[in-house]
Amino acid sequence: NAGVTQTPKFRVLKTGQSMTLLCAQDMNHEYMYWYRQDPGMGLRLIHYSVGEGTTAKGEVPDGYNVSRLKKQNFLLGLESAAPSQTSVYFCASKGTEAFFGQGTRLTVV
């Protein structure tokens, strides 16, 4: 009963490096979301998907790209990491109820 699994859990990047965060869900949900959580800012929506092959921008999409080639996976990419992208990233999948992964703590130095 995995629910939503995020990898990696922690990562340190140098400015300008790229990386991909993976989110996998086993609940056959159509909707998937990427959020970032920063102190004092709450959870902010980066990108989301309403089904396989679809993606859309959320509140704070700049500097990120996403892909949803398979229904169970939602990938978040950082092409050229910046210190402002230091944050905790959460993935969620949603049917009627939303379920969250355990988060990825990313530090960009």
Partner 1 sequence: KQEVTQIPAALSVPEGENLVLNCSFTDSAIYNLQWFRQDPGKGLTSLLLIQSSQREQTSGRLNASLDKSSGRSTLYIAASQPGDSATYLCAVSKGGATNKLIFGTGTLLAVQP
Would you state the structure tokens that stand for residue 7, as one six-digit string?
């990898």
Q: Smaller CB distance to partner 1: residue 52 or 99?
A: 99
Closest CA to 24 of 88, 89, 59, 74: 74
Residues 12, 107 contacting (CB under 8 angstroms): yes
Asked if 22 is part of the footprint of partner 1 (rule: CB under 8 A), the reply reads: no
Backbone angles phi, psi at 50, to 5 degrees: -105, 10
CB of 96 to partner 1, least distance (A): 7
Please say whether the dihedral angle defined by the alpha carbons of residues 58, 63, 69 and 74, taken in this order, is positive or negative: negative
* Interface region with partner 1, contact rule CB under 8 A, candidates 15-23, 37-45, 63-71, 79-87: 37-45
String marking each residue 60-89 x if it binds partner 1 according to CB under 8 A: ------------------------------
Binding site for partner 1 (CB under 8 A): 31, 33, 42-43, 45, 48, 50, 56, 58, 90, 92, 94, 96-103, 105
